[in-house]
A and B are shown apart, each in its own frame.
Chain A
Amino acid sequence: DVKVTQSSRYLVKRTGEKVFLECVQDMDHENMFWYRQDPGLGLRLIYFSYDVKMKEKGDIPEGYSVSREKKERFSLILESASTNQTSMYLCASSLKTGRGYTFGSGTRLTVV
């Protein structure tokens, strides 16, 4: 059973803080993704990676960066957290050969 683990379930940070969200998958998936989920907006893609040290911008990358130094780990970085980044963040992974994503349980981030 593929497991995608996000380091924190709930996180509260102050405006201006640098925030790290960690995601680890244990099934040797090549691809990893970060989405944010907001009511009425669905899931929106922030960044994704098809390989180690590779990253590509999704639809809403502003205010975020990512790091993928190892195949199993994909980190999302909020350089200077703002209140409009309060959201549920979902990490996902997938095989290069296809067949959809496996999601993590999510991190609910509140920026105050």
Chain B
Amino acid sequence: GENVEQHPSTLSVQEGDSAVIKCTYSDSASNYFPWYKQELGKRPQLIIDIRSNVGEKKDQRIAVTLNKTAKHFSLHITETQPEDSAVYFCAASITFGNEKLTFGTGTRLTIIP
């Protein structure tokens, strides 16, 4: 089955700096890659996703890049703010539609004021 590895497990950055979280996946058939943000004590929430026919997608301060050849994808957060502090999970699915997500192990991001 699919295996998703995520690095780093913890990340601290100064407010205003950028943060990058990286994931690799094992199944070359995977074609849907969402990212979830989980604030302390709350449910994971979808923040951005990308499909395999796209190399990059942006939404304000958040961007995701995908390299299908290397089987890795990354989350980029620019101009970080205190409210970006959370645990971030990457995930992968073979299908878009009826997706069955395999998650990474999570990255705890701390923004230092």
Contacts and interface: CB of A to CB of B under 8 A. Distances in A.
A20 interface: no
Contact of B100 (A4, A42, A48): A48
A100 B34 contact: yes
A47 B36 CA distance: 20
Contacts of B36: 100, 103
A98 B94 CA distance: 12
Interface string A83-112: 000000010001011111111111000000
Given A42-B89, A59-B1, A104-B43, A94 B102 contact: no
A103 B32 CA distance: 18
The residue in A30, A33, A43 that gathers the most chain B C-beta atoms within 10 A of its C-beta is: A43
A31 interface: yes
A90 B101 CA distance: 13
Contacts of B28: none
A96 B95 CA distance: 11
A40 B9 contact: yes
Interface string A9-44: 000000000000000000000110101000011111
Contacts of A52: none
B27 interface: no
Contact of A98 (B45, B96, B105): B96
Contact of A40 (B34, B101, B105): B105
B6 A98 contact: no
Contacts of A104: 43
A50 interface: yes
Nearest to A59: B1
B73 to A, nearest CB: 15
Interface in A51-92: 58-59, 90
Contacts of B49: 99-100
Interface of A: 4, 30-31, 33, 35, 40-45, 48, 50, 58-59, 90, 94, 96-106
8 closest residue pairs by CB, A with B: A98-B97, A42-B105, A43-B103, A103-B43, A100-B46, A98-B96, A42-B103, A100-B34
